[in-house]
Amino acid sequence: MILLDTHVLLWWALEPERLSPKAMELCARMEGEGGFASAISIWELAIKVERKKLELPLSIEDFVGRLETSGIVELVPVDTAIWLRSARLPWEHRDPADRVIVATAELKSLPLLTKDAVLHAQAPARCVW
């Protein structure tokens, strides 16, 4: 099982050709075994759509509905333990969504599927791409 970073969640769902060969392999395995994404990824996507930095071929509500009915990716709510862990990460990265995603991966003991080089370099969670 894996935790998808926001961009990987989006690419897996709508643009799988953007995934690396290893990411495609892991996502194919996830489709059989299940996987996770932080609920903050939905917030991050919605904000980007609202600010016109991202255009989706469907509404964010429909995107989430498709994710939920697929039964493949479970959205992990951001709870107090995740907020506290994200605040205590031993690195300088300031992006709150990235911090929450890394904290979620750590607390769930999951590898984080991400292309983000900053996370690969700094995150204490095991990152794969």
Q: Which residues contact 58 (CB under 8 A, 6 or more apart)?
A: 66
| CATH number at 3-128 | 3.40.50.1010
pLDDT at 124: 64
Per-residue pLDDT tens, the chain, 129 aa: give them: 999 999 999 999 999 999 999 999 999 999 999 999 999 999 999 999 999 999 999 999 999 999 999 999 999 999 999 999 999 998 777 789 999 999 999 999 999 999 999 888 877 668 999
d(CA 47, CA 49): 5
pTM for the predicted model, two decimal places: 0.94
**What is the reported pLDDT for 94?**
79
Per DSSP, the residues of 2-64 read -EE-HHHHHHHHH-GGGS-HHHHHHHHHHHHH-EEEETHHHHHHHHHHHTTS---SS-HHHHH
Give residue limits of the domains in the chain. 3-128
The encoded tokens of residue 91 equal: 């690195």
Measured CA to CA, the distance from residue 15 to residue 19 in angstroms comes to 8
